[in-house]
Amino acid sequence: MKILTVVGARPQFVKAAVISREVANHPEIEEVIVHTGQHFDSNMSDVFFEEMSIPKPKYNLDIHGLNHGAMTGKMLEGIEDLIIKERPDVLLVYGDTNSTLAGALAARKLHVRVAHVEAGLRSFNMAMPEEVNRILTDRISNLLFCPTDSAVRNLEAEGYDAFDVSVIKSGDVMQDAALFYAKESAEKAKLSKDFLDRDFVLCTLHRAENTDDPNRLKELVEGLNRIHSSTPVVLPLHPRTKGVLEKQGLKLNVELIDPVGYFEMIELLKHCSLVMTDSGGLQKEAFFFKKNCVTMRDQTEWIELVNNGFNVLASANADELIEKFELMRSRSNDFEIDLYGGGQAAKRIIADLVKTVKSTTLTNA
């Protein structure tokens, strides 16, 4: 059995690490990793493969820095050539990036089954490119690995019961990763004890819905600056966000640091008092490390975190952002509830992939 895995962005490297580690327990499986190049900065890409012992990609398409259409088109072309060359049984994609959609579309056109890890998530905001990517990827996938009950319900509401697909509640591979790598992070993270042992808020800001809207970005910058005046805000600055801030003449008066590797992010999560983010993945990681979260968006795919009080949405308004910060800083939560599968997602995913390929092979024989 051969799996062609397509990755391109930081969260996908982390998820791929979990699956690749489980694949290593199955000598009958060959995995070929393709890196599209979507995240090309060494701090955003190479470091993850090195630190997390992910098998090096066999192919790197080196596609980045383009508009959505051009980027997705070039990825589609490159992945199509590799599918023809490698002849995989399954193409595996993660999440909701342009790399995800391009991989799924290339495989489907060539009649190769598609497995989508993190299927069924919905923000219900079609202005988000990620929402478009995940909906289209789900619709052309054969195996839909859903991390949560709400993701399964979303697909049921969209009529997937009538489609010739397998909808599987697998749990979330990001929890697998958090539990596994948390044991190594203190030793491997390149952050000083003095830097970590203090009261601080961990923040990330990079979503296009925030950075591409001058008014939203201005309000968020003002709110974060005001919070930082009383509680230190540590913000690993995404290169794209840095460029937008400079272009718009906005000054983030918080503690800016360079983008960090996964082990550094785990240590920041362990030691912070609160998370403020517009990232999808970091909302869950906050929960995994028992931290409350303020999500600087109007919607979230991880609705179970909001419903259970671990997360709160804050629109792009400085006063509201501060109000939600104060609310979550003082809220006490019980983090023992199992929302994401308890760290067994990779085993479930690989077991279902093997079962599906074997049953199809027998049927064809």
pLDDT per position as a tens digit, 209-239: 999 999 999 999 999 999 999 999 999 998 8
Residue 46: pLDDT over 90 = no
The whole-model pTM stands at 0.87
- Residue 262: predicted pLDDT: 86
Domains of the chain: 2-171+344-364 (3.40.50.2000), 191-330 (3.40.50.2000)
> Which among 147, 78, 145, 149 has a CA at the least distance from the CA of 107?
78
- Residue 52: predicted pLDDT: 75
Q: How far does CA 304 lie from the centroid of its chain?
A: 17
Where are the alpha helices (H) located in 202-334, listed in sequence order?
208-211, 214-228, 239-248, 262-271, 280-288, 303-307, 318-330
Mean pLDDT of the region 36-65: 76
116 is a catalytic site residue: no
3-state secondary structure of 232: coil
Question: What is the rounded end-to-end Cα distance, in angstroms, of the chain?
Answer: 15
- Residue 40: predicted pLDDT: 62
Longest dimension (CA), the chain: 68
- Residue 41: predicted pLDDT: 58
pLDDT in tens, 319-336: 999 999 999 999 999 999
- Residue 365: predicted pLDDT: 46
Mean pLDDT of the region 117-128: 94
Mean pLDDT of the region 244-251: 96
Residue 364: pLDDT over 70 = no
Residue 47: pLDDT over 70 = no
Between CA 138 and CA 96 the distance in angstroms is 10
Between CA 252 and CA 55 the distance in angstroms is 37
- Residue 9: predicted pLDDT: 85
- Residue 137: predicted pLDDT: 98
- Residue 363: predicted pLDDT: 53
3-state secondary structure of 2: strand
State the average pLDDT for the chain.
93
Inter-CA distances, 357 with 59, 115, 194, Å: 24, 11, 51
Range with lowest mean pLDDT among 52-61, 62-71, 211-220: 52-61
Q: Given CA atoms 348, 349, 352, 358 in this order, what sign does their dihedral have?
A: negative
Contact by Cβ (8 Å): 125, 299: yes
Annotated catalytic residue within 39, 116, 206, 271: 206
